[in-house]
Amino acid sequence: MTAPLIDPFARAITYLRVSVTDRCDFRCVYCMAENMTFLPKKELLTLEELDRMCSAFVRLGVEKLRITGGEPLVRRDILTFFRSMSRHLDSGALKELTLTTNGSQLERFAGDLYAAGVRRVNVSLDTLDEAKFARVTRWGRLPQVLRGIDKALAVGLKVKLNAVALKGFNEDELFTLAEFCADRGMDLTWIEVMPMGDLGNEDRIGQYWSLNDLRATLATRYRLTDLPERTGGPARYVRVEETGQKIGFITPLTHNFCESCNRVRVTCTGEIYMCLGQEDVADLRAPLRSSESDGPLENAIRAAIGRKPKGHDFDYSRQRADGQVSRHMSHTGG
């Protein structure tokens, strides 16, 4: 039972993304419908169950644990979970405990997160224009997020911004966002919009802004040097020679990154998705709840990894969202 998790294509699974809630205090247009129906509490894994499940993955070789949502910091008592997970950092079994957040609660929680062993956070932020921010998040307020970023930096957290590249929305902020990050010693990652969920009011083809085009525009002002390094995720990085910062590109459509995929995602209800871009799913909640022993859970994890596909099917090349999956991005935590 101590053998590492190896998928059918000889990729070791060392990175787990876990959604701790489907709820969020924003309603970003590419992630959620405006009037979401959230899950009843009894369907969600308790914090204790999340601890058991994540600990099982750590025993099986997961070294990086990223907590997501929804917005993870709106989950009641979530700090108790972070504090509990810190024991795996102390033992050396877990190399990194981190989270992706919209930043709305960072001003409140940054210090406690650092105390629990978190050293790096990703903040999703697509625009520095207050009116556009309100429009894309529907419920969000930009000054609150900016205060959260400042607090995170002040307590010693390393902050990286994640921006979804949206044609006609933030194209004109390409250099503004780069300079905002450079001034604060932060890296920046651009993400191509993915065909996730039918939100009823969004044209995914119309939103799609190829990161090839984005990078070419960056190169008109900056000297970009390709970097070999990876951070455990799908981003490919360049160094901006003028500022020294890193800018990453996550390109599920322009350049498929599946050959090096080392991660799986677990939802807040205990479903494991072996691929973000496939519908195949396995249930971990039932074996978790069926026994006080972790044996059934670990068997279910291994069986799921044995079904991990070679790659996803996202494709916009034929001017339709081929490979689209039906669930919202918030369901699997990005």
Could you tell me the residue range of the domain that residue 301 belongs to? Answer: 15-332
Answer yes or no: is 120 a known binding residue: no
- Which is higher by pLDDT, 149 or 204? 149
Please tell me whether 31 is known to bind a ligand. yes
Was 42 annotated as part of a binding site?
A: no
- What CATH number is associated with residue 109? 3.20.20.70
Look at residue 7 and tell me if it is in a domain. no
- The answer, yes or no, to whether residue 252 has pLDDT greater than 80, is no
Residue-wise pLDDT tens digits, 18-39:
999 999 998 888 778 878 888 9
d(C-alpha 63, C-alpha 85), whole Å = 12
Question: Residue 258 annotated as binding?
Answer: yes
Q: Is residue 320 part of a domain?
A: yes
Is 194 annotated in some ligand binding site? yes
Mean pLDDT value of segment 239-244: 96
DSSP string of 127-164, one letter each residue: -S-HHHHHHHHSS--HHHHHHHHHHHHHHT-EEEEEEE
Q: Determine how β-strand 271-273 pairs with β-strand 120-124.
A: unpaired
Q: Does 4 map to a domain? A: no
Is 2 a member of any domain? no
Q: For 30, phi and psi rounded to 5 degrees?
A: -95, 0
Q: Is 181 annotated as a binding residue?
A: no
The reply to whether 264 sits in an annotated binding site is yes
Is 70 a known ligand-binding residue?
yes
Q: What is the pLDDT of residue 325?
A: 45
In a domain, 6, yes or no: no
- Assess if residue 73 is contained within a domain: yes
Distance, CA of 248 to CA of 161 (rounded, Å): 10
For range 31-58, the mean pLDDT: 92
> In percent, how much of the chain has pLDDT > 90?
69
Least confident of 31-40, 59-68, 129-138: 31-40
What is the rounded average pLDDT of the residues 67-90? 97
- Tally of domains in the chain: 1
* Residue 209 located in a structural domain: yes
263 marked among binding-site residues = yes
Q: What is the pTM of this model?
A: 0.87
